[in-house]
Structure 1
Amino acid sequence: MSSTAPSAIPDHCVVDHVFAVPRPPDRPAIVDAATGDTLTYGELADRIDRVAGALQQRGLGTGDVVAIFGLNSGQFAVALYASLRTGATATLVNSLYTEPEVRAQLEHSRACLVFADAACLPRVPAGTPVIGLDVPAGPGGETLRSLAERGHRARAVRIDPAADVALLPYSSGTTGTSKAVMLTHRNLVANMCQNDAFMTDLTDGSRVLASPPFFHIYGTQIVLNLSLRAGALVVTLPRFEFRAFLDAITRYRTDRVYASPPVLVLLAKSPLEGDADLGAVRYLFSGAAPLDEALAGTVAARLGCRIRQGYGMTELGPTSHATPDHRDDLPVGSVGLPAPYTDWRVVDPGTGRDAGPGRTGELWCRGPNVMRGYLRDPEATAATIDADGFLHTGDLVRHDADGVLTVVGRLKELIKYKGHQVPPAELEAVLMQHPGIADAAVAGRPDELAGEIPVAFVVRRPGGDGPTAEAVLDFVAVRVAPHKKVRAVRFVERIPKSGSGKILRRLLPV
């Protein structure tokens, strides 16, 4: 099935598309809710230009990869857009990553430079060229400010939107360990155009709360790029804390709030403390994990706002389906309608045939937003995008006769902890490093607040007492980012596996 395409996709690079419409230079663009620090549209454009010029003087350009490792801020945005202005590719690093995880991403992406803020600098591997987003990495170190003060201006760069990779976020795809997703300028520009069909009330008068992290494609593309493109005010939260979240909505009267289902659980069940005033919220958008319809209804009634849900994945840049601002007639538990320029199928995994309305199948998508592929991983790319150009999402969905889609489960093995992707294979590799563990598997257990929690199934080595559950939890915790921690341990006699050795997760007693 195909959706309608309202107009041609412009042949733009990302930065030119985001800032295609000039804005009054004194209009606030990004404000830090924690400090009140504000960048106007004029200041943002000037800093991007100056930092890009300084980076070009350092030799940065097309073919280079720059890593951005920081919390949500105006400085993050400057580093991102300045890097893209040079023709370089930006790889986005999870701000919770440990030093070994950061090192692995830098080595795999072949990043030649890292931008990092004060919170993340201690976890940048020693010897890595680094520029501080807010403070220098050491005596005499450079910062965004020192680069801008050099007075260089960016030179024009030839960028091929269809071929040149703009972003290199990491995703676990449908299974397995993390892979680098190559998103071209055209992928991202196309997806911004696709989202125009959904964000019909996003204007230069909108005030957007940016709580999803910018290192996630949801935060970068849906929150940051689309909001600045509209000329809106972006209110950033460095990290999510519920009290700070409520305070930001109250103080800045944000009318569009982006979040994930665990945040909606808090809004539904927590007392709205003190003088919290959420009356300005018109739209609350949920993404990164499926949203329960009853929960959505509770929050909508409590806040007096419209709940909107979208579906996508990093490999789709990210949106393929969403509920438009103006469609109050669609079920709040659905992920809405297909984006323009999208061909989609719902395929029965057992037969390979299209599943009709009301039947469950795997969602396949094809369109200009589909990634170029996984970096240096042709096998994984071929396993995800078929010969006809359809990306197999690994998610199980149902659709009605009008094409309204509802997510009902997934084929893929990823665990979604508070909207973060947690690949079981990665945790299993960590568990197997423990000398007292003979075998291990990890699966997700449903959790009301987190969505899912990772549960480890552990077979102790014969002889000796073996590790306790607490020892297993601690062993994993010091080796992975906080959102990847194992949250529960069950000791079992064996791990169920197929004849080929594949873990049969459906047989684990979660």
Structure 2
Amino acid sequence: MSLRVPLDPKAGEETIFDALIAAREKYGDKEILEDQDRKPLTYTGLLRAAFVLGRKIADMTAPGERVGILLPSSMGVVVTYYGLHAHGRVPVMLNFTSGEANIKAAIKASGLKKILTAKRFVTQAKLDDLLDDLTTVAEIVWLDDVRKTIGLQDKVYGLMAGLMPKRFRVKTDPSSPGVVLFTSGSFGAPKGVVLSQWNLVANCRQVAQHIALDPDWIVLNPLPTFHCFGLTGGVLLPILNGMKAFQYPSPLHAKQIVELIHEVKASLLFATDTFLNQWARVAGPDDFASLQFVVAGAEKVKDETYHLYNTKFHGLKLLEGYGATEAAPVVAVNHPDRNRPGTVGQMLPGMEWRIDPVDGISEGGRLFLRGPNVMRGYLSADDPQSIEPLAGGWHDTGDIVDIDKDGYVAILGRVKRFAKIGGEMVSLTAVEGLASAVWPDSRHAVVSIPDSRKGEKLVLFTDRNDADVARLAEWARSHGAPELAVPKKIMRVAEVPVLGTGKTDYVSIQRLAEIDKAA
């Protein structure tokens, strides 16, 4: 059991809204939030907008009620999130890319009755049919219509609340829910994660203690706020540390994002390997000149991506990190002055961890975490109002990791991402690495299916149309990789399925492999 660095004891527990108020006091009433509509808000502007919108929503909800938010990264989603907190409601962030079945499951699991969304977003994202389906399980509240009801009295209320926010906000406890999120579903059905207000604020404090952040920096956030990386990294972290948070609605718009980085003079960028690779391919050598460094999380960073950023962008530092929705989400991250590619850096201050051995796996072990950022628990499958607490406060990540003598964490794979072939444990993540070494410009995913002779068989899915087993086997032999790590079956696809967050969709890939086996 280990604790590398304690969290600064001066960082007393705070609620999300009080942390926002404290940030205004510390950094002054500066511009703190902007999106593509180019109508920036100061801290006071954000507070006023949150109070006014939040009061309207409070009129149609009960104290402590969970309220769904179905919006892209924008000033609107930030104002709505803080508006719910100003009046003691609990935001439930809904993943609008996950499909009707998963969204309905999230609605049922969280027990929410109302969903807040916007007509312009629904129209532009072509979600009209989805919203029609959702009306059968929840009430849709159009924020466009709510804003039309804001009158002079509401504006006066907002002015007063902005001057004296602690007198107007509903008092809550740091241990009360800060958000309900759903895990990405990469390896199974999404789970409802309840993060306390202090979990989220603490994670922002941990990152700021680990890496010095300049209040003059600008963070560009194109990641969705239904993903914890987008919510904490792209919204809460910058705002609570005096940095402007520029919100952009989709990470898929590579050309527009590259232009925005240059235009707004972004200092920090948080993204996944998939998106960073896409953006780098359309960017010119000087387009990222304003960036101090880039932080990658949610999936392993490929060697090719490191190479791109090191060569094309004049040695721009790409820092790989590691997190989990259940940890709000950042657990470890490399440091600009202590960057060790191939690892996810060192544990954040305040993180406790232990590594349990796993039968059949000789290197590393199963990582368990405890700390101020680790969730209260999962939503109970039987009762939306119940939370299944963690035994002893420990979260089982399901990840196999190794930590060296300097405290750098290497992610070796997931417990579920190992196959047992001929009695030997084989890391599917390592097999994907083998495929990436042979065909670095393509995307690959490996799953296992039952095999009558050897227990399990590896199946490689790839968008490389000339991929073949012989080439993989040749590379494995010449580099000393075991023969067991070579997939005996290759499925060539136009696109390897991914989730809205950019992570590989292993659920869909496993289903395709099983359908093919049965055919």
TM range (shorter): 0.7 to 0.9
Matched, 1:184 2:196: yes
Alpha-carbon shift at residue 256 of structure 1 (Å)? 0.7
Alpha-carbon shift at residue 351 of structure 1 (Å)? 8.2
Q: Which runs of 5+ in 2 are unaligned?
A: 162-167, 419-431, 451-492
| Structure 1 stretch displaced more, 255-264 or 111-120 | 111-120
Provide the residue aligned with 2:335 in structure 1: 324
Change (3 A) 1:58 1:387: closer
Change (3 A) 1:285 1:186: same
Q: Secondary structure at the match of 1:169?
A: strand
Q: Secondary structure at the match of 2:3?
A: coil
Return the alpha-carbon distance in structure 2 between the equivalents of residues 446 and 67 of structure 1.
40
Provide the residue aligned with 2:470 in structure 1: none
Matched, 1:85 2:121: no
Provide the residue aligned with 2:462 in structure 1: none
Change (3 A) 1:148 1:161: farther
Matched AA of 2:283: L
8 A contact 2:319–2:339 mirrored in 1 = no
Match of 2:31 among 28, 33, 38: 28
8 A contact 2:56–2:146 mirrored in 1 = no
Q: Secondary structure at the match of 2:22?
A: coil
Provide the residue aligned with 1:38 in structure 2: 40
TM-score normalised by L of structure 2: 0.73
Q: Secondary structure at the match of 1:36?
A: coil
Matched, 1:225 2:225: no
Q: Secondary structure at the match of 1:102?
A: helix
Matched, 1:399 2:406: no
Return the alpha-carbon distance in structure 2 between the equivalents of residues 236 and 49 of structure 1.
20
Matched, 1:315 2:326: yes
Alpha-carbon shift at residue 40 of structure 1 (Å)? 2.9
Return the alpha-carbon distance in structure 2 between the equivalents of residues 262 and 174 of structure 1.
15
Q: Secondary structure at the match of 1:22?
A: helix
For 1:237-276, list aligned pairs within 5 A. Answer: 237-240=248-251, 241-268=253-280, 270-272=281-283
For 1:110-509, list aligned pairs within 5 A. Answer: 110-117=111-118, 118-120=120-122, 122=128, 123-124=130-131, 125-126=134-135, 128-133=138-143, 135=144, 142-144=145-147, 146-147=149-150, 151=154, 152=157, 155-162=168-175, 164-171=176-183, 176-200=188-212, 202-240=213-251, 241-268=253-280, 270-272=281-283, 277-293=287-303, 295-304=305-314, 305-325=316-336, 328-350=337-359, 359-377=363-381, 387-412=391-416, 453=445, 486=508, 489-490=512-513, 492-493=516-517
1:369-426 per-position Cα deviation (integer Å, ceiling 9, x unaligned)? 11111111499xxxx9864432111111122101111112111359xxxxxxxxxxxx
8 A contact 2:255–2:279 mirrored in 1 = no
8 A contact 1:296–1:333 mirrored in 2 = no
1:90-130 per-position Cα deviation (integer Å, ceiling 9, x unaligned)? 11111323334322222221112211123336222125333
Q: Secondary structure at the match of 1:334?
A: coil
Q: Secondary structure at the match of 1:21?
A: helix
Q: Secondary structure at the match of 1:288?
A: coil
Return the alpha-carbon distance in structure 1 between the equivalents of residues 45 and 396 of structure 2.
42
1:219-277 per-position Cα deviation (integer Å, ceiling 9, x unaligned)? 10112001011121112211121101111111111111111101232255x2426x972
1:429-456 per-position Cα deviation (integer Å, ceiling 9, x unaligned)? xxxxxxxxxxxxxx99977678655879
Return the alpha-carbon distance in structure 2 between the equivalents of residues 284 and 334 of structure 1.
15
8 A contact 1:197–1:340 mirrored in 2 = yes
| Structure 1 stretch displaced more, 77-86 or 258-267 | 258-267
8 A contact 1:444–1:453 mirrored in 2 = no
1:43-82 per-position Cα deviation (integer Å, ceiling 9, x unaligned)? 21110111222233334322x0011101110000000011
Alpha-carbon shift at residue 29 of structure 1 (Å)? 1.9
Return the alpha-carbon distance in structure 2 between the equivalents of residues 107 and 338 of structure 1.
35
8 A contact 1:18–1:226 mirrored in 2 = no
Change (3 A) 1:95 1:444: farther
Provide the residue aligned with 2:100 in structure 1: 99
8 A contact 1:210–1:234 mirrored in 2 = yes
Return the alpha-carbon distance in structure 2 between the equivalents of residues 224 and 44 of structure 1.
12
8 A contact 1:346–1:361 mirrored in 2 = yes
8 A contact 2:219–2:243 mirrored in 1 = yes
Provide the residue aligned with 1:505 in structure 2: none
Provide the residue aligned with 1:50 in structure 2: 52
1:197-227 per-position Cα deviation (integer Å, ceiling 9, x unaligned)? 2331x22201111021111100101120010
Return the alpha-carbon distance in structure 2 between the equivalents of residues 389 and 174 of structure 1.
24
Change (3 A) 1:296 1:259: same
Structure 1 vs Structure 2 CA RMSD: 3.7
Change (3 A) 1:493 1:25: closer
| Structure 1 stretch displaced more, 255-264 or 149-158 | 149-158
Return the alpha-carbon distance in structure 1 between the equivalents of residues 372 and 235 of structure 2.
20
Change (3 A) 1:449 1:158: farther
Alpha-carbon shift at residue 32 of structure 1 (Å)? 1.6
Change (3 A) 1:195 1:318: same
Change (3 A) 1:41 1:18: closer
Q: Secondary structure at the match of 2:331?
A: strand
8 A contact 1:28–1:39 mirrored in 2 = yes
8 A contact 1:75–1:144 mirrored in 2 = no
Alpha-carbon shift at residue 297 of structure 1 (Å)? 3.9
Q: Secondary structure at the match of 1:348?
A: strand
Change (3 A) 1:300 1:15: farther
Matched AA of 1:45: L
Provide the residue aligned with 2:19 in structure 1: 17
Q: Which runs of 5+ in 1 are unaligned?
A: 136-141, 415-442, 459-472, 496-510
Q: Secondary structure at the match of 1:176?
A: coil
Change (3 A) 1:190 1:351: farther
Paired positions, count: 427
1:132-175 per-position Cα deviation (integer Å, ceiling 9, x unaligned)? 34x3xxxxxx234635766155744231222x111110016895
Return the alpha-carbon distance in structure 2 between the equivalents of residues 481 and 6 of structure 1.
29
8 A contact 1:218–1:318 mirrored in 2 = yes
| Structure 1 stretch displaced more, 241-250 or 52-61 | 52-61
Matched AA of 1:343: E
